[in-house]
Structure 1
Amino acid sequence: MKTGLFMGSSLAPILVEWVLDEVILQALEKLDFNPQFWMAYVDDHLTSIPRNKIDMVKTALESFDKDITFTYESEDILTNEINYLDVTVKRNNDGQIMTNWYHKPIASNRLLNYYSAHPIQMKFNMVKNFIRKVFTFSHKSFWNNNLIKIKNILSKNNYPVKIIDKLISSVKSDNFKAKTDAPQRFNLSNYSFLSNNNDRSCDKLTSNNRYIYSSKQYIPKLSESISKVCQYFVPEGKLAMKPTNQNSKFFVNTKKKINKIDNSGVVYSIKCNDCTKLYVGETIQKLGSRIDQHKNECKKVIEGSNTKNVAALAEHVKQYGHSFDFDGAKILKFERNKLKLQIQEVNQIIKNEQIVCNYKTDKKDYTNTYYNLIVNRNVQSN
């Protein structure tokens, strides 16, 4: 599509499916024949039509809207094969269809390396899911060749031969019941994806057995020992290990930064130009709009046209004749939820209570316990 939603929109895939469904239904009504099948995954489609009807179908699809264009790829004339997503679809001489696992020749084949700092069970589960995927997408006649590919890929990711063979045997014994004894018609209902019954991470929650999850950084050997201790003393607890290194440490964020005044849902501070005081505030709107409101309030109190129900910042200007550094406003916290935003504002007021010019009523609803915790933590950090 030449026009549409911006990339990354969570709404885009849903709307694409709705629009394409309507496009296809209207196009089918204009054809003088019925395709044998039509499968779709978002904007990738697979169908079976006579070769001399390709242009007719393309014209019918593009007649929906002038901004919608389609490209197509036909099956190979010699092999009767076509690649669709992660599957190679092969048409036999009797008209039936067989499938095989497909990955691009330029694929890096990079998986979670055996020597990476991740829990061993995470690596094993990743490998077994990869093997299941290959078997599930493949007809039984392709298994031997695919096993060779699997072993080569895992070897390049430093998995020992004994472990590879063990994991392959484990997958084979996991009640693999896909209907692969004979060539199949291309129907996803003919395939059953596997689940490892021995994998406790897949345990389902019940009303009488709820788990408590906690995320901790993974340290080889130590994390395994901690997990065993926690499982013994807290059976309902589940530790989820995460790696120390994150992608953000290695890749630069190429997105254009938002201008400070265009940020919304923030707790901010503005310093006084004439004394050590500062004002802490929160706004769910853009910071620039809130600063403009402060400027207008200050202008009115100076002129004497507005002296009641003004913010503490304007009250400080009125009482002492000072001015504030609006251009140097700082963002202290980001928060989309209005209630949490107000809580963050009070936290910042308490942390800076010796220098803020805010009204004392801003923190009146805070209990002494929380107040003391914030103050003590602020003192220790300083």
Structure 2
Amino acid sequence: MAYLETTLMDELISLGVCEWHRYVDDTFVFINPNANVNDILSVLNFFHPPMKFTYKVEKDNELEFLEVKVIRIPERHTLETTIYRKPTFTGLITNWNSYVPIEYKKSSITSMTDRALRICSTYQLLSTEFNEIRKIAKLNDYPTSMVDTLIGIKFSKYRNKQQSNEPTTKNSNDNRQIIYVEIPYIKTTTSELKKRTQHLASKLRTDLNIKFFSKPPPNTNTYFQSKDPITKHMLSDVVYSVKCKDCGQLYIGKTERQCIRRLQEHGAPRTTFNIQQQGNHDLDDSELRRSARLKNKTTTITTTTTTPTTEINLDQEQTSSIKKYIIETGHNMDWRNFNVVCQENHHYRLLVKESLLIQAHQPELNKTTHSIHLIVFPDGLSKTYLPDPAK
């Protein structure tokens, strides 16, 4: 954009551009009343065809730019600015009844107040915006008195800063080391812990300036499973293990596809696993809001037919050590009770985990000792640090 502006600015000025103000990729432009907008747009779009410009002209002497509404006053030949909110704005902020630290709730109001003080160009527009902040706060159950207090404090600081000619500087006398400490949020207990710790630190460590901050607890949704669990044989990107039913010998392997595909390549009968699952939950009909046509519908989960490049070089059904073992010994593998030892969607880390498990447990049915060279742990890891593939 900077190169475009440097190259085309003289031509744009000749077409009627008076002012050009850009923020990242949004540009606010003043042009002469008799200038042709389409001519300016053609010059910009012709400069680099893949980059296309669009434009929006003022309507009723108003034009929105980012979060600012610019109002043109023709009588006074001036511009005024106020806050612009998109039509999709719902007015939703952190609710007053939310289980979060009080600082979070206060900052929801003070941040809107700060923005109003920076953007609103007249006291009339500022007063209108303050009323809008009060409406938003009321919509989210904030106490009116607290909102008025926060707005008043911010406005007083703004006025004092304007009236004072002295530049605002930080307190240079406080040379204490600042330490930030996170503590769990448990309503009044958190506030009491802050006070006691600060009081103790002021006596024992006068060289420290401890600043506490709290994060809200995890959302309630994190404690509930919102999706149907994926059955074990449908999982992908896993390290798995299979035991022999007759002698208990073990095999450890990995696959980036669904387990059912890899196990079938090892020799598992195609009837071992059911790939159809009911999509319905065990709920009463009164709890479900859906038509009778959908109530008894069965969801079929299809398996992928794509094969990663790491598994297409050999015919696994012919080279599988498990399949050869079954043919040579006549033993049966415990396919249904195979174990998913761990999951890893990163290809290299999946190979490392498989190699560590093979090196630690030395499964009898594996041909190789590792599938990748172990750089960090060339001698492997102890079994105590790894999951048990037999469980």
Place the TM-score, normalised by the shorter chain, in its bin: 0.5 to 0.7
Q: Offset of 1:114 from its aligned partner? A: 0.5
The structure 2 residue matched to 1:244, chosen from 218, 221, 235, is: 218
Match of 2:250 in 1: 277
The structure 2 residue matched to 1:123, chosen from 82, 102, 105, is: 105
The structure 2 residue matched to 1:86, chosen from 59, 63, 67, is: 67
The structure 2 residue matched to 1:99, chosen from 69, 81, 105, is: 81
Contact 1:24 1:61 in 2 (8 A): no
Work out the CA distance in 2 between the residues paired with 1:270 and 1:22.
Answer: 59
Pair 1:147 & 2:127 matched:
no
Q: Offset of 1:161 from its aligned partner? A: 0.9
Pair 1:159 & 2:142 matched:
yes
Alignment of 1:1-382 (within 5 A): 20-31=1-12, 32-33=14-15, 35-51=17-33, 52-76=35-59, 78=60, 80-93=61-74, 95-141=77-123, 142-175=125-158, 209=178, 211=180, 213=182, 218-225=185-192, 240-245=214-219, 267-269=238-240, 271=242, 277-281=250-254, 288-293=308-313, 295-296=314-315, 299=318, 332-334=342-344, 336=346, 344-345=353-354, 353=361, 365=379, 371-372=383-384
Q: Offset of 1:60 from its aligned partner? A: 0.8
Work out the CA distance in 2 between the residues paired with 1:317 and 1:101.
Answer: 74
Name the CA shift for 1:291/1:47 in 2 (closer, same or farther; >3 Å): same
Name stretches of at least 5 consecutive residues in structure 1 with no aligned partner: 1-19, 181-191, 199-205, 254-259, 303-312
Contact 2:101 2:214 in 1 (8 A): no
User: What per-residue deviation string (whole Å, max 9, x for no partner) do you get for residues 8-35 of structure 1?
Assistant: xxxxxxxxxxxx4444444434332563
Work out the CA distance in 2 between the residues paired with 1:176 and 1:353.
Answer: 73
Work out the CA distance in 1 between the residues paired with 2:49 and 2:341.
Answer: 46
The one-letter code of the counterpart of 1:290 is T
User: What per-residue deviation string (whole Å, max 9, x for no partner) do you get for residues 148-175 of structure 1?
Assistant: 1111111111100111011112222445
Contact 2:110 2:154 in 1 (8 A): yes
Work out the CA distance in 2 between the residues paired with 1:365 and 1:232.
Answer: 52
- Matched residue of 2:21: which SS? strand
Q: TM-score, normalised by structure 2?
A: 0.58
- Matched residue of 1:37: which SS? strand
**Same amino acid, percent of matched pairs:** 18
Match of 2:272 in 1: none
User: What per-residue deviation string (whole Å, max 9, x for no partner) do you get for residues 289-332 of structure 1?
Assistant: 33335x45885698xxxxxxxxxx8997999799998xx99693
Contact 2:28 2:65 in 1 (8 A): yes
Name the CA shift for 1:345/1:301 in 2 (closer, same or farther; >3 Å): closer
Aligned length: 307
Name stretches of at least 5 consecutive residues in structure 2 with no aligned partner: 202-207, 228-233, 257-305
The one-letter code of the counterpart of 1:116 is S
Work out the CA distance in 1 between the residues paired with 2:195 and 2:239.
Answer: 45
The one-letter code of the counterpart of 2:132 is K
Work out the CA distance in 2 between the residues paired with 1:246 and 1:144.
Answer: 38
Q: Offset of 1:144 from its aligned partner? A: 1.4
User: What per-residue deviation string (whole Å, max 9, x for no partner) do you get for residues 41-92 of structure 1?
Assistant: 344321111233312111111213445443322223x5x3211111011234
The one-letter code of the counterpart of 2:384 is N
User: What per-residue deviation string (whole Å, max 9, x for no partner) do you get for residues 323-367 of structure 1?
Assistant: 998xx99693336595x66665467669x9497856778887456
Work out the CA distance in 2 between the residues paired with 1:347 and 1:177.
Answer: 66
Contact 1:128 1:168 in 2 (8 A): yes
Q: Offset of 1:243 from its aligned partner? A: 3.7
- Matched residue of 1:278: which SS? strand
Tell me whether 355-364 or 168-177 shows the greater mean CA deviation.
Answer: 355-364
Contact 1:267 1:334 in 2 (8 A): yes
Q: Offset of 1:98 from its aligned partner? A: 2.6
Work out the CA distance in 1 between the residues paired with 2:134 and 2:192.
Answer: 31
Contact 2:20 2:30 in 1 (8 A): yes
Contact 2:95 2:142 in 1 (8 A): yes
